[in-house]
Amino acid sequence: MTSLDKPTTEDTSADDARAVTEAALFEAFGGVRGMVETVLPGLLFVSIYTVNKDLHMSAIAALAVALAMVVVRLARKDTVKHAFSGVFGVGFGVVFAMMTGNAKDFYLPGMLYTLGLALAYIVTAMAGVPLIGLMLGPVFRENLSWRTRNPGRKKAYTKASWAWGLILLGKSAILFPLYWWADTTQLGWVLVALKIPPFLLAVYLTWVFLAKAPPPIDVFAEMEAEERAEEERKAAAAQGEGGAAPAGRHRRES
């Protein structure tokens, strides 16, 4: 291998940063399993409703599978936040649909949540506190250091928040007219089809922006280093005091 073929330190650090970014995004957004848990209850609801038009059976089946996924995660001692969010979303949808008797209302809470989240991404990006940074900061062990100490990452988080906001806003612009004009099965199948692609696009753009950004400042490592340094200073001071006492006694005895 020639010197030109050898990876440089910059290339290695860039690869490491990309790997860390991929792992953090995978953890934050649940990965493949999280996507399955997001899609499956709604897919089951619309599938059953398409066949027999039975609101109660469709709603109960969707809620049952969402609860089953939580139980599986608890049994495996896995992270349950994505499964629990699915249960709450399905639960609200079931309550809405049962109260109104309109099967389309099963999807309404999720649609309102998507619209609210889109606005939250956009508003926080405009305010200089991008929501995606608040979400991913702890995952990258940088907390809020990107706001004042790492302007390159703040810029990347702002771009990512704009991307999430506009993508989710576009999704809402498709779904809400269908809520008013389409029937339940049409709305349901379109919603299922729009579950994953916009999400993957937003995650990909987030990865692109963060992969090009400066690495995160590990504030946890900084705090641990400060604590070790403080302990070393105290130990050195105690050792110095311990060594001074015998010398004083020796002078008095002489």
Express each pLDDT in 48-59 by its tens digit.
999 988 889 999
* Residue 130 tokens, joined: 């991008």
How much of the chain, in percent, has pLDDT values that exceed 90? 42
Distance of CA 129 to CAs 47, 124, 145, 204, 230, Å? 41, 5, 12, 21, 33
Band of pLDDT at residue 169, cut at 50, 70 and 90: very high
Condensed to tens digits (0 to 9), the pLDDT of residues 72-106 reads 877 877 666 666 677 788 888 989 898 999 999 99
Q: Is residue 241 part of a domain?
A: no
Residue 252, pLDDT > 70, answer no
Domain that holds residue 180: 16-233
The residue-averaged pLDDT of 30-59 equals 86
Give a yes or no: residue 54 inside a domain. yes
Contact (Cβ atoms closer than 8 angstroms) between residue 94 and residue 63: yes
pLDDT at 20: 66
Residue 249 scores a pLDDT above 90: no
d(CA 150, CA 253): 60
Residue 11 lies inside a defined structural domain of this protein:
no
Q: Please state the domain count of the chain.
A: 1
Orientation of helix 81-100 relative to helix 55-76, angle to 10°: 160
> Closest Cα to residue 198, out of 124, 121, 140?
121
C-alpha 118/C-alpha 199 separation (Å) is 12
Examine residue 3 and state whether it is found in any structural domain, yes or no: no
pLDDT for 221 beyond 60: yes
List alpha helices for the chain, DSSP H.
Answer: 9-29, 31-52, 55-76, 81-100, 108-127, 131-136, 145-148, 151-181, 184-193, 196-211, 219-253
Which residue, among 96, 121, 123, has the nearest Cα to 111 in the 3D structure? 96
Evaluate whether residue 179 is within a structural domain: yes
- Asked if the structure places residue 238 within a domain, the reply is no
d(CA 125, CA 127): 5
Tell me whether residue 7 is in a domain. no
Q: How far apart are CA 42 and CA 171, in angstroms?
A: 16
Q: What is the pLDDT of residue 254?
A: 46
Q: Is residue 9 part of a domain?
A: no
